[in-house]
Amino acid sequence: MILEAFADPGSEESVLLESIDAGRLPRHIAIIMDGNGRWAGMRKLPRVAGHRSGTESVNDIVESCRRLGVEILTLYAFSIENWKRPKLEVRTLMRLLKEFIRKETRKVNENNIRFQAIGRIHELDDSVREELRHITELTERNTGMTLNIALNYGGRAELVDAVNLILSKRNDGGTDAVTEEIISNSLYTAGLPDPDLLIRTSGEMRISNFLLWQIAYSEIYVTPVLWPDFRRKHLLEAIAAYQRRDRRYGGI
């Protein structure tokens, strides 16, 4: 853990760090980034202001997870259901996404972070897919933290796609019975461990069709903090709460 370098002595962050066992960090943290619109509405700002401020939280949490030594961070950025939002808001979200990727590509690569996009990426606009292709190819050999961005993502859609992938292999002559391992290896997150900790901001008590298969035994932490206000201190609070729990995976 190398977060101490920018935690002021005596600060809340410093106290939280002292309570965290570096040997029991969650390997994989997933976050439902919720509350951008409400954050903007509370300030009588357009919703886009909340989305733009939310990118600052992304930067802070990615950097904090990297310094802590978290192996995988998965962020829920845009769901399949989000297409129902006003067209102007959707276009703005896609523009912000492209701006964010262009701005952060060099930093992500220099910090040895491997970038992946999960979801029905093929349905996104060509310009978005090109930005994703560039950062993915540039960072694919990096060996540090893996950063997954869930785009045009839905947990049910992922399971449908996994089943269709399995069926396509059956058509090629496969005959093995379907197992949990086969399903896991057919998901967008194939090859990655399931999330240990799922964080949801904004206080909503639902999982919003996110990683339905993968979070079967994840510890869930809900905070009332809206995503644009979520920072390193709140991440440390979530990890400290995670470490106080007894994970039994259905046992005693």
Residue 112 is among the residues annotated as catalytic for this protein = no
**Active-site option among 60, 82, 142, 229:** 82
Side chain identity, residue 26:
P
**Active-site option among 8, 21, 34, 126:** 34
Contacts of 225 (CB under 8 A, 6+ apart): 35, 201, 202, 234
Burial profile 190-227: b = 16 or more Cβ within 10 angstroms, e = fewer: eebebbbbbbbbbeeeebebbbebbbeebbebbbebbb
Residue 171 is among the residues annotated as catalytic for this protein = no
Contacts of 77 (CB under 8 A, 6+ apart): 33, 97, 149, 150, 151, 153
Contacts of 182 (CB under 8 A, 6+ apart): 166, 176
Tokens of 228: 């644009």
* Residues designated catalytic: 34, 82
